[in-house]
Amino acid sequence: MKQTLRLPTDNEFAAIRGNDASFDGRFYYGVASTKIFCRPSCVSRAPKRENVRIFDSTDAAEAAGFRPCKRCQPDKAPAADARLERARALIDSKLAMGEPTPTLPQLAKAAHMGATHLQRRFAAAYGLSPRAYAEAQRVALLKTELRNGSGVTDAIYGAGFGAASRVYEKAGRWLGMTPADYRRGGEGLTLTVAIRRTAMGSTLVAESTRGVAALLFGNTEKAMLAELRDEFPAARTDRDDTAGAAAFAALEAMLAGREPPKGLRLDLRGTPFQIRVWTALQAIPAGETRSYQQIAQSLGAPKASRAVGSACGNNIIGVLVPCHRALRSDGSLGGYRWGLDRKEKLLTGEGVALEPAE
């Protein structure tokens, strides 16, 4: 997608002249006379305003023919901010002791930063606000406790949740099932499973009462069923190869480059950040791609490109959640849960011109 070159706003140029690190990750600037691009915090001599061009990402700057500054290295992930690490460590320590999450003012005091500034910088560094980060960590601990055999009540309070009712209210989103069912590995959950041959080879669709819970590809039925069991180890599976008609129709439409029928429900199960990534992937039009970094930036978390890649790898609803449209910044394929040959086939079928393999 071609980036439109634009001149800086007053605030952006003031940030460049002031080497303001709080704008790092929000934009990059290139200097037309040198064809070099930098972070706003770069301590190089401030350029003339008429020579400055603003970019939303490093990919856009490079696509426009600019090369990264050797001093501020905008194409490299910056070192972690010690102040943010203090805030994160405080959250983690409270979690470990089973105590309530620190308030934003408490975190700001620990980090020696303003509350609003901390909120923005924390989200840029870790992909989540302090509150959402704490919640994700507590949910992860809750899952561990449940899987290790702790009783539901002990696991809830051991993870630092002050009220069991809050966990039950959000269990469908956090766990995909009740805490008790999660503790038993999905026992009590019923998935209707259909396996058919598609243009992608053997394809499995598993549906819960909430929608499509998995769409998997494999060379054998045995391999796909094993992959499904890994995700839902104690769920009941009912085989019915006539089921999943809407999911298979949507898949066929997408493989043919058409928009899928409206109204298909997806049963997304993951962390809050994973679900944000999967939702962002669904917004990428057929025939277009985004780099992991671009997706991270669209979520307001420019330093979370690796986390975006991990979320893509954990997606179990193939094509309908189009993680195949996520590439590395250099245009190479990156990874794909079901093999790079399938990813390449999907992208070329959508008319995407891929970078030749070196």
pLDDT, tens digit (0-9, with 9 covering 90-100), for 231-265: 887 788 999 999 999 999 999 988 887 878 888 99
CATH topology of domain 82-183: Arc Repressor Mutant, subunit A (1.10.10)
The per-residue pLDDT for 218 is 92
The Cα-based distances of 109 to 102, 114, 119, 158, 289 in angstroms read 11, 8, 12, 27, 41
Split at pLDDT 50, 70, 90, the class of 184 is: very low
From 38, 42, 72, 312, the catalytic residue: 38
Place of tokens 């990402």: 57
Q: Is the dihedral of CA 148, 150, 153, 155 positive or negative?
A: negative
* 0.75 exceeded by pTM: no
The per-residue pLDDT for 86 is 85
Domain spanning 190-255, CATH architecture? 2-Layer Sandwich (3.30)
| Percentage with pLDDT > 90 across the chain | 28
Clarify whether 72 is annotated catalytic. Answer: no
Clarify whether 323 is annotated catalytic. Answer: yes
Q: Range(s) for CATH 3.30.160.70 in the chain?
A: 190-255
Q: Range(s) for CATH 1.10.10.10 in the chain?
A: 272-349
What is the Cα–Cα distance from 126 to 342, expressed in whole angstroms?
Answer: 31
From 42, 69, 72, 323, the catalytic residue: 323
